Chain A
Amino acid sequence: MQIEVILNGKEVVLDVKEDELLADTLRAHRLHSVRKGCNTTCCGLCTVWVDGRPVLSCATLSVRVQHKQITTMEGVSEDAEEFARILVSEGADQCGFCNPGFIMTVLAMKNELHNPTEEEIIHYLTGNLCRCTGYMGQLRAVKKYLGVA
Chain B
Amino acid sequence: MKIVGKSVPKTDGLAIATGKPVYTEDLAPANALIVKILRSPHAFAKIKAIDKTKAEKLAGVECVLTYEDVPAVRFGTAGQTYPEPSPYDRLILEDIVRYVGDEVAIVAAVDEETALKAMKLIKVEYDVLEPVLDFEKAAGHPSVIHPEKDLHCNFDIGMQQDKNIACTHKVQVGDVKKELQNCHVVIEETSYIHAVSQAMMETFRAFSHYDHLGRLVVVSSTQIPFHVRRILARALQIPASKIRVIKPRIGGGFGGKQTAVVECFAALVTMKTGQPAKIVYDRKETFGCTNSRHAMRIKVRLGADKDGYIRVVDMEGLSDTGAYGEHAPTTFSVVGQKTLPLYSKTRAVRFEGNVVYTNKLPAGAFRGYGAPQGAFALENAVNKLADELAMDPCEIRAKNVIKEGEKSLVYITEGLVSSTLHKCMEKGKEMIGWDEKYPRRQEGNKVRAVGMAVAMQGSGIADIDTASATVRLNDNGDYSLFVGSADMGTGSDTILTQMAAEILQTPLENITVHAADTDISPFDPGSYASNTTYVTGMAVVKAAEDLKRRIIESAAGFLLVSPEEMEFTGDMVQMVDGKRKISLKEIAERLTIGVNPRQLVGNASHGIPISPPPFVAGFAEVEVDKETGKTDLIQYVAVVDCGKVINPNLARIQAEGGLAQGIGMALFEDVRYDARGKMKTNSFMQYKIPGRKDVGKIRVSFEESYEPTGPFGAKSIGEVVTNTPAPAIVHAVYNAMGVRVTDLPITPEKLVIRSL
Contacts and interface: CB of A to CB of B under 8 A. Distances in A.
A77 B18 contact: yes
Interface in B643-664: 647, 649-650, 652-661
A102 to B, nearest CB: 9
Contacts of A129: 201, 684, 689, 691
A95 B652 contact: no
Interface string A66-108: 0000001110010011001101111111111111100100000
B689 A39 contact: no
Interface stretch (B5-13, B319-327, B373-381, B729-737): B5-13
Interface stretch (B139-147, B246-254, B266-274, B288-296): B246-254
Main secondary structure of the interface of A (DSSP, over half): loop
B390 interface: no
B17 interface: yes
Interface stretch (B179-187, B403-411, B613-621, B692-700): B692-700
B302 interface: no
Contacts of A73: 18-19
A40 interface: yes
Nearest to B20: A32
B549 to A, nearest CB: 33
| Max chain A C-beta neighbours (<10 A), residue from B17, B20, B684, B698 | B17
Given A126-B691, A131-B689, A135-B695, A95 B16 contact: yes
A36 to B, nearest CB: 8
Nearest to B660: A134
A72 B19 CA distance: 10
A99 B7 CA distance: 20
B18 A81 contact: yes
Given A95-B489, A96-B16, A137-B656, A131 B200 contact: yes
Contact of A91 (B14, B200, B283, B491): B491
A12 interface: no
A43 B684 contact: yes
B756 interface: no
A81 B14 contact: yes
Nearest to B647: A91
A59 interface: no
Contacts of A50: none
Interface residues of A, number: 49
A33 B18 contact: yes
A98 B14 contact: no
Contacts of A113: none
Interface in B237-277: 249-252, 254
Nearest to A121: B692
B199 interface: yes
Contacts of B283: 37-40
B199 A84 contact: no
A94 B272 CA distance: 37
Contacts of A94: 252, 489-491, 653-654, 657
Contact of A99 (B16, B654, B689, B692): B16
Given A38-B283, A80-B18, A131 B252 contact: yes
Given A33-B19, A38-B283, A133 B653 contact: yes
A123 B692 CA distance: 8
B199 A131 contact: yes
B683 interface: yes
A122 interface: yes
A130 interface: yes
A91 B7 contact: yes
A94 to B, nearest CB: 4
Interface string B666-710: 000000000000000001110001011101011000000000000
A1 interface: no
B603 to A, nearest CB: 30
Contacts of A132: 201, 252, 489-490, 653, 657
Given A81-B18, A85-B14, A95-B200, A126 B693 contact: yes
Contact of A97 (B18, B251, B659, B693): B251
| Max chain B C-beta neighbours (<10 A), residue from A37, A72, A87 | A37
Interface of A: 32-35, 37-40, 42-43, 45, 72-74, 77, 80-81, 84-85, 87-100, 103, 122-123, 125-126, 128-137, 139
Given A131-B689, A136-B698, 10 more contacts: A38-B684, A39-B284, A40-B684, A40-B685, A84-B13, A88-B9, A88-B10, A103-B17, A131-B661, A135-B660
